[in-house]
């Protein structure tokens, strides 16, 4: 099933909204552009926005689809004249047979394949089309670390398609028989067309490949059986979720055409950066500053956890960067029973803005190291210096 993206909880990027831009404008051609000009413009734009060249760029993918739809309409004489006459309204009934509208599936085939495929018309869709299940939707949800760890209830607004009330999703005006067999294709959904040397099968222009038409379409949904609506949903986020987790709400996607089943809604979790903790799986990391006096003499510091402060014993002669593991103070994952750990990195802080007196004290303190056993007070310097000495000795050999 194709997926339509809903971002940030507000905007829905899908075919329907994108298709509202003027097709000529989309391709950057004049209204009297020749088919050749349209093809040229399409090739250029399709190359530019092709997903292979714009990995992971949703905007480019949408542009690509938009360009493709505009191209498909404007290079089809019948559709182009309908569009010139009625604008987008020409295609709003019953979903497009020509591909590109409907389900919101981006068909990222090779663009030359697309141009070629176009000669063969609806070659890709075989036989009669049935009412399709509605599109799945994806909703990107941003959570704070606390919300993700503890779980929460979130209300979201989803612009979507819902089953039409007056016709109960059938698309036919209430009290009329819902469908009749299409007389153009006799229910086949496809017709034979001649295009130059080719005899090609095309989706029937009358019924858009469905084989059936609604004689008396419902006024609210114009025969589609579904209407646009912004749904408000309550989503229960389980505790322990992390970026990349997905919550499926069955049947909460777009309603299908003509009463076909609805798609699903996927809530895609993204956890925002936290200003204290960094999460890696079920472990949490944080850095805690300590004064160098405490690092030297030992003591206790307060360490933040997601459940409040705890105290951490700083051992005597602690070097900067030393890590301490606090068991069970991490995150209880959504699939695990036990919590991870909190890993605290102590950073020894150099004092700043010293007074004259403090500087004197430090000076005096430094002088106290002078003498032959100064080395033993600075284990790192000692190791480092002898390493440097060996390095230079090796060089001069």
**Residue closer to Zn ion, measured from CB, 68 or 226:** 226
Length of the chain: 397
Q: How far is the CB of 92 from Zn ion (least distance, A)?
A: 13
**Residue closer to Zn ion, measured from CB, 8 or 166:** 166
Answer whether 167's CB lies under 8 Å from 218's CB: yes
Q: How far is the CB of 109 from Zn ion (least distance, A)?
A: 26
d(CA 183, CA 212): 9
d(CA 211, CA 187): 4
Work out whether 185 is an interface residue with Zn ion (CB under 5 A).
yes
3-state secondary structure of 108: coil
Q: Where are the beta strands (DSSP E) in the chain?
A: 3-7, 11-13, 136-143, 152-163, 180-181, 190-195, 198-203, 212-213, 226-237, 246-249, 265-271, 278-280, 283-291, 299-305, 308-314, 323-326, 342-349
d(CA 73, CA 90): 11
**Residue closer to Zn ion, measured from CB, 221 or 265:** 221
- Which of 141, 149, 207, 290 binds Zn ion (CB under 5 A)? It is 207
Q: How far is the CB of 207 from Zn ion (least distance, A)?
A: 3
- Which of 137, 143, 218, 346 binds Zn ion (CB under 5 A)? It is 218
Structure tokens of 110? 């090779």
Closest by CA to 93, choosing from 2, 243, 216, is 216
Q: How far is the CB of 128 from Zn ion (least distance, A)?
A: 9
**Residue closer to Zn ion, measured from CB, 140 or 176:** 176
Instruction: Give the side-chain half-sphere CA count within 13 A for 16.
Output: 19
Answer whether 76's CB lies under 8 Å from 23's CB: no
**Residue closer to Zn ion, measured from CB, 190 or 318:** 190
How many angstroms separate the Cα of 326 from the Cα of each of 40, 283, 286, 330, 343?
64, 10, 11, 8, 6
Q: How far is the CB of 206 from Zn ion (least distance, A)?
A: 4
**Residue closer to Zn ion, measured from CB, 207 or 262:** 207
Q: How far is CA 32 from the centre of its chain?
A: 38
Angle (CA) 315-319-320 rounded to 5° is 120
Q: How far is the CB of 225 from Zn ion (least distance, A)?
A: 6
Q: How far is the CB of 118 from Zn ion (least distance, A)?
A: 20
Binding region for Zn ion (CB under 5 A) out of 83-91, 94-102, 221-229, 245-253: 221-229
Q: How far is the CB of 166 from Zn ion (least distance, A)?
A: 5
- Which of 81, 220, 230, 293 binds Zn ion (CB under 5 A)? It is 220
- Which of 41, 141, 143, 204 binds Zn ion (CB under 5 A)? It is 204
**Residue closer to Zn ion, measured from CB, 136 or 224:** 224
**Residue closer to Zn ion, measured from CB, 161 or 295:** 161
Q: How far is the CB of 304 from Zn ion (least distance, A)?
A: 56
Binding region for Zn ion (CB under 5 A) out of 83-91, 124-132, 135-143, 200-208: 200-208
Binding region for Zn ion (CB under 5 A) out of 58-66, 95-103, 202-210, 276-284: 202-210
Kind of pairing between the strands at 152-163 and 226-237: antiparallel
Mark residues 143-182: x for contact with Zn ion by CB under 5 A, - for none.
---------------------x--x--------------x
Binding region for Zn ion (CB under 5 A) out of 1-9, 110-118, 196-204, 272-280: 196-204
d(CA 303, CA 300): 9
Mark residues 238-257: x for contact with Zn ion by CB under 5 A, - for none.
--------------------
Residue 181 neighbours by CB distance under 10 Å: 12
Please give the residue ranges that form the binding site for Zn ion (CB under 5 A): 164, 167, 182, 184-185, 204, 206-207, 218, 220-221
């Amino acid at each position: 099933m194709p997926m339509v993206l809903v971002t940030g909880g507000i905007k829905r990027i899908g075919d329907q909204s994108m298709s509202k831009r003027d097709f000529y404008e989309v391709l950057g051609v004049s209204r009297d552009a020749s088919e050749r000009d349209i093809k040229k413009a399409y090739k250029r734009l399709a190359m530019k926005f092709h997903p292979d060249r714009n990995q992971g760029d949703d905007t480019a993918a949408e542009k690509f689809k938009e360009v493709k739809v505009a191209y498909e309409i404007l290079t089809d004489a019948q559709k182009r004249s309908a569009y010139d006459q009625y604008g987008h309204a020409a295609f709003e009934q019953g979903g497009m047979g020509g591909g590109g509208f409907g389900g919101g599936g981006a068909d990222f085939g090779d663009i030359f394949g697309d141009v070629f495929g176009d000669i063969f018309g609806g070659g890709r869709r075989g036989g009669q089309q049935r009412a399709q299940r509605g599109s799945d939707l994806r909703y990107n949800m941003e959570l704070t670390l606390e919300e993700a760890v503890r779980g929460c209830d979130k209300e979201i607004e989803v612009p979507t398609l819902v089953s039409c009330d007056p016709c109960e999703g059938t698309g036919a005006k209430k009290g009329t028989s819902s469908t009749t067999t299409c007389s153009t294709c006799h229910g086949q959904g496809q017709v034979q067309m001649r295009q130059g040397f080719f005899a090609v099968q095309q989706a029937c222009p009358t019924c858009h490949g469905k084989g059936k038409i609604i004689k008396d379409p419902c006024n609210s949904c114009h025969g589609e059986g579904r209407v646009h609506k912004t749904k408000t949903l309550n989503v229960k986020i389980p505790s322990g979720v992390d970026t990349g987790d997905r919550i499926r709400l069955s049947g909460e996607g777009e309603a299908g055409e003509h009463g076909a089943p609805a798609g699903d809604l996927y809530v895609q979790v993204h956890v925002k950066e936290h200003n204290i903790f960094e999460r890696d799986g079920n472990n949490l990391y944080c850095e805690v500053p300590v004064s160098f006096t405490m690092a030297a003499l030992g003591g206790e510091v307060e360490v933040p956890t997601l459940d409040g402060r705890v105290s951490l014993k700083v051992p005597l002669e602690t070097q900067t960067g030393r890590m301490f593991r606090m068991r069970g103070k991490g995150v209880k994952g959504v699939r695990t029973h036990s919590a991870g750990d909190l890993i605290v990195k102590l950073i020894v802080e150099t004092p700043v803005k010293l007074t004259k007196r403090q500087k004197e004290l430090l000076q005096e303190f430094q002088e106290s190291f002078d003498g032959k056993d100064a080395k033993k007070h600075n284990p790192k310097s000692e190791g480092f210096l002898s390493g440097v000495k060996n390095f230079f000795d090796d060089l001069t050999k």
